Structure 1
């Protein structure tokens, strides 16, 4: 019943804008520097707009609204730069909304391929530190340690868990990060491309674990450039394009519309 569905994330007309350095000409470009010095009119216009020379504003998310419910797995798809990762960071509370509001039930956890683990520490130490960062106690980490290592597949071809993480491939690091995050239940788990680097066996394990997390009362968001991963893992998808929400519906229908769109652009 729709009435029985429990909202976990409400995104209400959210806009996200941020400022980045850069523009025409690099930092050391004499031509660009001279142009800025001589163009008083341009400098005044930028000052009036609240921007300093060399800084531009990016409107990454534009008026996005949706509600996510307990037990859902929702895929986010769209072209590069469409605002998917920015939206995940806003839901996680890492980026403030310039306009609109984000409401969450419980604590969102963002897992990305660049999640901060310590490259000079061994995989074993990172499991402990990562588990503590995810809110697990030392006892819980000790109980789940073997299953985390087994799930990650780090030791399938040797005792890599005892080596520093800087010796790992990007895929090994991503698998370990996901294994640590998946070792506990989450109110809202946000996954940004963390499944893209694993082999077929790891992806099957990951998809099965996402299903379990949903049954454990969580909501999962998954950003992926693999449309098959979205349709196999999620029953719902959001399609973002140029910061706007183009479509929200059953994953297979949304992916089909997105694929038709991308083919039409070629």
Structure 2
């Protein structure tokens, strides 16, 4: 049985204040999301409709690690949000086994609270009990590596760099097994040692019959971590197959 089935999925939403030309695409528009109802562009209204995902279909299975590749604005992050249930498809269907976990959303962290407090709250948000959080606390902090240059875990998260915050989010999410774990660019932050730890943990999740989706602009990360890749451009799925083959085609353009 597949863990995720995406059947002819389209995701369309309306954004306000988005320029009709220039760079940014669907990824930038998503941050200004106002409405999920499709609407025609109205001249002078300052709104436009974004058709971010266009007729994408695939099935994912237990034990797979699937990389999503494509240029900026190709729909990768939007597709992850749709699989996580955060953006309802305007057409088509998504079926998932269990509750998908989108890294950094299920374990939403708060900038005014210390890293220590966020580990507790993030672990609870991921479905762990307080006893499980206490038992895994040291492992989570050590895995993130944020204390390697000082006692940052006792400081508010707003004092962290974006990389430190991303590493802590991954560490919290990786402390629990998931039916489906969705990771968006988290492994791009951190040094080689952190990336190695992350890839090892992803292998452990897969060994426990989990399915992992990874968005990354680093083709080497996809090659090292994933056995399958999906290539999206302009919201359409261009290729689905072994990671090495898909990446080679993508690099050839």
Alpha-carbon distance, 1:24 to partner: 5.4
Q: After alignment, is 143-152 or 110-119 more displaced? A: 110-119
| Aligned-partner Cα distance in 1 for 2:248–2:134 | 44
Cα distance in 1 for partners of 2:106, 2:177 equals: 21
CA distance in 2, matches of 1:114, 1:65: 25
8 Å contact kept, 1:113–1:192 = no
Q: Are 2:56 and 1:61 equivalent residues in the alignment?
A: no
Structure 1 alignment gaps of length 5 or more: 1-5, 26-48, 262-266
Aligned counterpart in structure 1 of residue 119 of structure 2, from 116, 127, 133: 127
Q: Which runs of 4+ in 1 moved over 6 A?
A: none
Compute the displacement of 1:167 (Å).
1.3
Cα deviation code 1:117-172 (max 9, x no counterpart): 11111100000010011011100000000000000001111111111111111111
Q: Which runs of 5+ in 2 are unaligned?
A: 21-38
Aligned to 1:22: 17
Aligned to 1:205: 197
CA–CA separation in structure 2 for the residues paired with 1:145 and 1:194: 20
Cα distance in 1 for residues equivalent to 2:188 and 2:56: 26
Other structure's SS at 2:198 match: helix
Instruction: Work out the CA distance in 1 between the residues paired with 2:68 and 2:162.
Output: 22
CA deviations over 1:25-68 (Å, ceiling 9, x no partner): 9xxxxxxxxxxxxxxxxxxxxxxx65552211010000000000
**TM-score, with length taken from structure 1:** 0.85
* 1:103 is aligned to 2:95: yes
Residue 227 (structure 1) aligned with residue 222 (structure 2)? no
Say which of 157, 175, 191 aligns to 2:149: 157
Residue 260 (structure 1) shift: 0.7
Question: Larger % of helix: which?
Answer: 1
Greater Cα shift, 177-186 or 50-59: 50-59
- Aligned pair count reads 233
Contact 2:107 2:126 in 1 (8 A): no
